[in-house]
Structure 1
Amino acid sequence: MGVKLAVGAGFRLPDLSGLADGVVPGPQREGRTESVHYDTPDLRLARWGLSLRHRRGEGWTLGFPPNAHQPLARHRTQRFEGSPRTPPAAALSLLRAYLRGAEVRPAASLSILRRQVLLTGPEGQELAEVVDDEVSVLEGRRVASRFREVEIEVREGGEVLLPSLLARLQEAGAFPADGVPAHLRALGPAAQEPPELTGVALPPSPTGTDLVRSAISSGVASILKHDIGIRLGGDPEDVHQARVATRRLRSNLRTFQPLLQEEWATGLRDELGWLADQLGSVRDAEVLRDRLREEAKGLLEADARPSDGLLRRLDEDVERARERLLTTLDEQRYVDLLNRLVEAAAQPAVTEDAALPAGEVLPPQVRKPWRKLRSAARALRPDSPDEELHHTRILAKRARYAAEAAAPAVGSEAERFAKVAAGLQTVLGEHQDAVIAQGWLRANAGGGRRAFVAGQLFGREADRAAASRADWPRAWKRLNQKKLRAWLPA
């Protein structure tokens, strides 16, 4: 946890003793460090909230934001070794989705005179550190500008010191900072401009073009933001969210079909399908592994070892799928797709109908997947094959995505429809996951004790499949209400 303050050129760190009983400030340490920040000519990394720097004595550091599903997490970093004059290939590989072939070069050189005071508690534990940075922005050997900032870095257990620390520093002349990191300030105002993909601010009555741009921009931004996490591994949510974004983009291109030039939209959908397949292979393997591992926790202790041996194969499946995905992400085809998507968000190939109010042109496009879903759901019987339930789930997902695409223009009616459709999709998805698990267990059971364990897990998955098969009609009944689809044309 850190709090930054701005200070004037004549600021001096005050005496930090007496803040609380037993809290002792250490001696002031002083040192100078120099760093070079790298970026593209259009400062693309800075505008996306990323940084790539080389600091003398520390080497290379890549900084990037936390995941959207972890809003309270700290900014993430990766360290690299290598020549101070050439960005490491491993760092550039992690940035591939953002760079897309753009040149990376020195963008700002900083010389920082740093003064630090560490505050410790009665038992010598570190509670907080006050860091006073005097930053010189260099152009060659000339100092182009200077600024100064103080940061309070609170360690675990030191939160109670923060109010008194702030008061002491403010008495000495510190004041709230604008929150702009030092390297962004050094890079100049252009570094704080929005990136090439920004959320499209929709007017009260958006046109079809407005919604197309907004949907594509949101989807592509999600792919980019999860790309680094996918490459690093460790958080399955990155693959999941990128897959969702890719599938949603494909669905939106289908929903917006009459507003888009056919060849252009088909080409994008085909390439997005290729990417979705690669992401799906990893995600499906991860879901199956996690599902069966959780199920195996309910087995008797005597069956734990055979189950570990059985399920270890799923770890191998995940790893093989990840290797194929990482190869895909390093292909030029992936970079070309991202470039096409970024261009599509800015200038989609629309038809004349796209200039019409979205509230008029999109409801008929939601009606199409709804009718297909209704026809499939009505045809299902208690003993319908698993494949037919899976097909109905796909249609439910398409109807949901279509309603979500129309919601910015239609409003809460479309949002409610999409929410209930998502409920049907979830129930049928649970059935499909159970069916896939049964198929995997049947194919990998082997013999002996392992086969016995596989049989137990198979039985549990069969129960879950039967439960979801019994549940889906209720989810369908909630969706198949006239009042829920009153906004759709007859």
Structure 2
Amino acid sequence: MEVELKLLVVDHADRLGGSELLPDKGKAVRQRSTYFDTADRALSTAGVSLRIRQAGTDRTQTVKSSATSSVGLFSRQEWEKPADGDLPRIDGETPVADLVEPSQPLMRVFQVDVTRRIWNIRADDSQIEAVLDRGDISSGDRRTPVCELELELKSGKAAPLFDLARKLDAMAPLRLAVLSKAERGHRLTQAQRGSIKAKTVPLSRDMTAAEALQAILQDCLAQFRLNEDLLLDSRAPEPLHQARVALRRMRSAFSIFKPLLGADQARDLRDRLGRLSKELGQARDLDVLMQRADPGPLRDRILREREAAYDHVTEVLQRPETRALMLDLVEWLNCGPWLTESTIADQRAQPARDFAAGALRRFRRKVKKKGRHLANLDDAARHELRKDAKKLRYATGFFKDLFDGKKERSRQKAFIGALKKVQDKLGALNDLATAPQLLDRLGLSGDSDSAVLLARGRKKSLLSKAESSHRDLIDARRYWK
């Protein structure tokens, strides 16, 4: 079992070798790794990679199972043996034999060529191997660069990995890696996605509440990091939106799992996530506003403001504080005091399904109470209701796999459908409420075109529909009993 912290080197990789932390140039090795899979990608679908690596005249066959990988910190089973040729040999010692039918031929899918430099570091009582890989991944005529740093724990505790990573980040900017080289290689063979939406978190009934929280936050972190990279490359609206969704999901997870958490550090992380989301908010607001504006001077002005807002987004994402937040989250999630604090031991050990049912009841009560007389609420109260409805929606998504009975699935679908309608109406009302403030900041509040844009909200109709949708939600049968 290997445990390693994987980081992408954003810039200045040459500063690492020969530094005070990595005091020599490191042992340099040229490596070529060829990855194999079946035509229908049976191995990658199961989270398994199979490669033949050549370094000089030596060849090694390696199988890795990445089912337990999390963002940045990879903990994987690994099987390794000498290879006597360029093609892999399948035996019963690894998961490959169970995934590949004898009639399914293995084929070369992609290749990784890197120059690897290796350092062995003693940090406190831990032994760490630092590996810097620079090169590229190729599949046919497609190619993507590789410049990543792996800090592998050989012995001792994991905390020194994070201390070393922070010191190295001060020399050369480092971002958490979400994908292994194998996963990057498989993505290279596919059409690039414009954004990464939230998916169902794979939870099981035998999980504890603490294990469920770890799985959920790892999923949210992965969604943020993947969209962050897409956003920096494209400055497109959808990855920005999904990056903010990931941040809201993380903050909601902190609220949902509050009974499990040590107060001070968890609150600090949640607040920092909130500040980051707010920094990205103006660009998202302008994207929404621009969708409602017709071609003309108003839209042109919004577009100019949008470009400036995206410049700010790029600057924020490149700050050391943003990289530090992601690293702090991974460390807290895997090594934080909440995992050992005796006063919350019972809450951590609670079955995930029992915890989920309690959380769903709690947030449904909030939405029911705050939504009374919805049409008469002011904008601030309606915004609070909208936030609680979002938390309830995220909770239903987080815990979806824990309620998998036939009747539960049917009721769950109806409940989520009703909840989505409430969210849609509250979201439209929120856009209507915030648009005047945004137009005022742009100095356009008196513009005739902006008056037309605001009139499209149909507030009275939206309020009536929101109130009706809220009644339908409260009447929907609960599936978590």
1:336 aligns with 2:258: no
Does the CA-based 8 Å contact 2:379-2:433 persist in structure 1? Answer: yes
Residue 389 of structure 1: aligned partner: 382
Does the CA-based 8 Å contact 1:250-1:269 persist in structure 2? Answer: yes
Match of 1:378, SS? coil
Gaps of 5+ in 1: 1-40, 51-86, 93-100, 113-135, 150-174, 298-306
- Which whole-Å CA distance do the structure 2 matches of 1:402 and 1:88 have between them? 34
**Which of 418, 426, 431 is matched with 1:428 structurally?**
426
For each residue in 1:174-196, what CA deviation from the matched residue of structure 2 results, as whole angstroms up to 9, or x when unmatched?
x95534412179999x976789x
Residue 477 of structure 2: aligned partner: 484
- Which whole-Å CA distance do the structure 1 matches of 2:384 and 2:238 have between them? 25
Give the TM-score, by structure 2 length. 0.58
- Displacement of 1:267 after TM fit? 2.0
Residue 454 of structure 1: aligned partner: 450
For each residue in 1:361-391, what CA deviation from the matched residue of structure 2 results, as whole angstroms up to 9, or x when unmatched?
232222222222111111333x443333333
1:259 aligns with 2:260: yes
1:472 aligns with 2:466: yes
1:178 aligns with 2:113: no
Residue 11 of structure 2: aligned partner: 89
Does the CA-based 8 Å contact 1:253-1:265 persist in structure 2? Answer: yes
- Displacement of 1:218 after TM fit? 0.2
Does the CA-based 8 Å contact 1:431-1:468 persist in structure 2? Answer: yes
- Which whole-Å CA distance do the structure 2 matches of 1:431 and 1:107 have between them? 59
Which stretch has the larger CA shift, 371-380 or 398-407? Answer: 398-407
Residue 392 of structure 2: aligned partner: 399
Q: 1:379 to 1:319 in 2, by over 3 A?
A: same
Match of 2:477, SS? helix
- Which whole-Å CA distance do the structure 1 matches of 2:307 and 2:22 have between them? 30
- Displacement of 1:111 after TM fit? 12
Q: 1:360 to 1:291 in 2, by over 3 A?
A: same
- Which whole-Å CA distance do the structure 2 matches of 1:250 and 1:280 have between them? 15
- Displacement of 1:216 after TM fit? 0.7
- Displacement of 1:339 after TM fit? 0.9
- Which whole-Å CA distance do the structure 2 matches of 1:327 and 1:432 have between them? 27
Residue 270 of structure 1: aligned partner: 271
Residue 292 of structure 2: aligned partner: 291
- Displacement of 1:436 after TM fit? 2.6
Q: 1:446 to 1:224 in 2, by over 3 A?
A: closer
Match of 1:371, SS? helix
Residue 232 of structure 1: aligned partner: 233
- Displacement of 1:241 after TM fit? 1.0
Match of 1:183, SS? strand
Match of 1:485, SS? coil
- Which whole-Å CA distance do the structure 2 matches of 1:193 and 1:204 have between them? 30
How do 1:194-273 residues align onto structure 2 when only pairs under 5 Å count?
202-273=203-274
Amino acid at match of 2:470: W
- Displacement of 1:443 after TM fit? 6.5
Match of 1:181, SS? strand
RMSD: 4.2
How do 1:274-423 residues align onto structure 2 when only pairs under 5 Å count?
274-292=275-293, 296=294, 307-308=296-297, 310-347=298-335, 349-350=338-339, 351-352=344-345, 353-381=347-375, 383-411=376-404, 412=409, 413-414=411-412, 416-423=414-421
- Displacement of 1:408 after TM fit? 3.1
- Displacement of 1:148 after TM fit? 7.7
Q: 1:201 to 1:446 in 2, by over 3 A?
A: closer
Q: Which of 1 and 2 has greater Rg? A: 1
Amino acid at match of 1:243: R
- Displacement of 1:43 after TM fit? 9.2
Amino acid at match of 1:405: F
- Which whole-Å CA distance do the structure 1 matches of 2:261 and 2:281 have between them? 27
Match of 1:487, SS? coil
- Displacement of 1:258 after TM fit? 1.0
Amino acid at match of 1:397: K
- Which whole-Å CA distance do the structure 2 matches of 1:379 and 1:148 have between them? 71
Q: 1:454 to 1:344 in 2, by over 3 A?
A: same
Does the CA-based 8 Å contact 1:205-1:357 persist in structure 2? Answer: yes
For each residue in 1:403-461, what CA deviation from the matched residue of structure 2 results, as whole angstroms up to 9, or x when unmatched?
333333244355643442222111110122123334445665769xx933333333323
- Which whole-Å CA distance do the structure 2 matches of 1:469 and 1:109 have between them? 63
For each residue in 1:119-176, what CA deviation from the matched residue of structure 2 results, as whole angstroms up to 9, or x when unmatched?
xxxxxxxxxxxxxxxxx9875xx55569889xxxxxxxxxxxxxxxxxxxxxxxxx95
Match of 2:112, SS? helix
Gaps of 5+ in 2: 15-20, 35-51, 60-83, 88-103, 117-132, 134-151, 153-179, 185-199
- Which whole-Å CA distance do the structure 1 matches of 2:202 and 2:304 have between them? 45
- Which whole-Å CA distance do the structure 1 matches of 2:454 and 2:31 have between them? 61
Amino acid at match of 2:207: P
Amino acid at match of 2:391: R
Q: 1:279 to 1:179 in 2, by over 3 A?
A: farther
- Which whole-Å CA distance do the structure 2 matches of 1:237 and 1:377 have between them? 30
Q: 1:200 to 1:279 in 2, by over 3 A?
A: same
Q: 1:315 to 1:364 in 2, by over 3 A?
A: same
Does the CA-based 8 Å contact 2:30-2:115 persist in structure 1? Answer: yes
* Percent sequence identity over aligned pairs: 24
- Which whole-Å CA distance do the structure 1 matches of 2:10 and 2:210 have between them? 41
Does the CA-based 8 Å contact 1:243-1:276 persist in structure 2? Answer: yes
Does the CA-based 8 Å contact 1:184-1:192 persist in structure 2? Answer: no
**Which of 403, 428, 435 is matched with 1:437 structurally?**
435
- Which whole-Å CA distance do the structure 1 matches of 2:329 and 2:451 have between them? 46
- Displacement of 1:246 after TM fit? 0.7
- Which whole-Å CA distance do the structure 2 matches of 1:443 and 1:331 have between them? 25
For each residue in 1:255-304, what CA deviation from the matched residue of structure 2 results, as whole angstroms up to 9, or x when unmatched?
11112222232122111112111222221221112222xxx16xxxxxxx
Match of 1:480, SS? helix
Does the CA-based 8 Å contact 1:236-1:283 persist in structure 2? Answer: yes
- Which whole-Å CA distance do the structure 1 matches of 2:10 and 2:366 have between them? 52
Amino acid at match of 1:255: I
Between the two proteins, the alignment pairs up a number of residues equal to: 328
